[in-house]
Amino acid sequence: MTNPPVQRALISVSDKSGLAKFAQGLAAAGVEIFSTGGTRKFLIAAGIEARDVARYTGFPEMMEGRVKTLHPKIFGGILCRHDHAEDMQSVEEHEIATFELVVVNLYPFAATIAKPGVSPEEAIENIDIGGPSLVRAAAKNHAFVAIVTSPQQYAEVLAEIAQDKATSFPLRQKLAGAAYAHTAEYDAAIATWFAREEGDGTTERERLFPPKIGLALEKQGELRYGENSHQHAAVYRVANANGVSLVSAKQLNGKELSYNNLLDLDSALAIVRGFEQPAASVIKHNNPCGAATSDSLAQAAKMALAGDPQSAFGGVLAFNRAVDVATAEVLSEPGLFIEAIVAPSFDAAALQILTTRPKWKTNVRLLEIGPLDPPSARINFRQIEGGMLVQEADVLPDPESEWKVVTAGEPQDALLADLRFGWSIVRHVKSNAIVLSKDGSLIGCGAGQMSRVDSVEIAIVKAGDRAPGSVLASDAFFPFPDSIHKAAAAGVAAIIQPGGSVKDAEVIAACNQHGIPMIFTGRRHFKH
């Protein structure tokens, strides 16, 4: 396949980052540039000559810029097949200039609708029409035309033009695929917005779950392997995602992140971002083996690591405050091994300690995520064979106004604080989930067992001699009172659970028998 020389470029972009340098390179390679509106003004201000599209077509921009490039002299120049005599005869007959390079990125629709209080009118005005049409036309004719839709593509395109005065077919083919992915993502964002903006007669549930959902993902990088070494894996960012997340975090130190690292870090982060006090969490195999809040981050770290020291070895940690020197000292104590740490930031002195002092200094993955905000995801997606399960994210705190003490005795204030803490933690543990907590710290966790009583037994074993005086949180109701008897024998002082079992009366009676106050929250927190 022949690669036609790049004689002309059509440039019309919203995102002008890197454009001046790119256009200067094109001009230096002898490429004639055509442009419109704000893009042309930008280029001229940068000292780059650009022909006015309106002068070329003979039709001015109109309707406040809604109509600029929608003209046969533009689309004929993009869609003409250079090896079709009939196409080239039409080009000559109608005095159409051929475009071998089209540079377009679209109105910022997703960024616009993400702004608080944006009006429907403003959103609609940021639906691009000419841009997607140009992109799709150029991508369709990629045998002869290169379509550039991102500033990240400028360097590669310019390098080929500077060297060969043309672009190669493999590059044009790659750019065309990226272009269609770009317009698909754009259209999906618009379709989803319309589905959620429908007026009267549309329920909140229908807005959350429209008939079709477009899920656009952008590849961030490949991972060393998946859950196991024989599985390939990569990490993708949800296009136009808002808020801080691991996908946008900056890695400051350590080996490449693995698939399991990211899963564990995400779970660890979900725990700490729910607390106002300084908080730390320790995750092992996607379940918390330690978590704590305290007046200082260093103390929270110490308490979290003490929750289950054996399991914490080789664990993943998260903090909701900047890691300071005192916290770094705790993390660097002999006998610890830490795989990864995520925090809003790391003080310079703390970073120096973590990357120079412990034995694992060069390997530990340190991720700086930025100031934490509430989780932005309202919807969770989970793949099953042949489809997706979609649900509201379980991220909102439960209203304590719905809690009810169902036993004869009520928990004292000190116990109530630990009950709140335990109830905040248990939603992050795989079902069947049981946690024991004491003094603002997780001291025992039973996770993912097929029977709830097994989870109770595991949590008690993990807590050991710390169990007396602790409180127990269960993510779902107790089907039988056997768990209550085991908790009482271990010295558990109070229990919090959703309630709702046909055996609730027997469970309450068992608590009254042992003098254990119990709260029903009325809300279950399964995590499968």
Q: Which residues are catalytic?
A: 140, 285
- Buried b or exposed e, range 403-426, using 16+ CB within 10 angstroms: beebbeeebeeebbbbbbbbbbbb
- Residue keyed to tokens 């290169």: 146
What are the helix (H) ranges across 355-426? 413-426
Residues 6 or more apart in contact with residue 11 via CB below 8 angstroms: 19, 23, 33, 34, 35, 39, 43, 50, 103, 104
Q: Which residue, 59, 60, 48, 53, is CA-closest to 77?
A: 53
Residue 438 DSSP SS3: strand
Q: How far apart are CA 182 and CA 339, in angstroms?
A: 36
Residue 55 DSSP SS3: helix
| CA distances to 59, 147, 189, 247 from 254, in Å | 58, 38, 36, 16
Q: Which residue, 258, 500, 244, 191, is CA-closest to 369?
A: 244
| Number of neighbouring beta carbons within 10 Å of residue 201 | 6
CB 327 within 8 A of CB 297: yes
Q: Which residue, 523, 502, 498, is CA-closest to 406?
A: 498
| CA distances to 309, 404, 460 from 411, in Å | 29, 11, 20
Residue 392 DSSP SS3: strand
Residue 178 DSSP SS3: helix
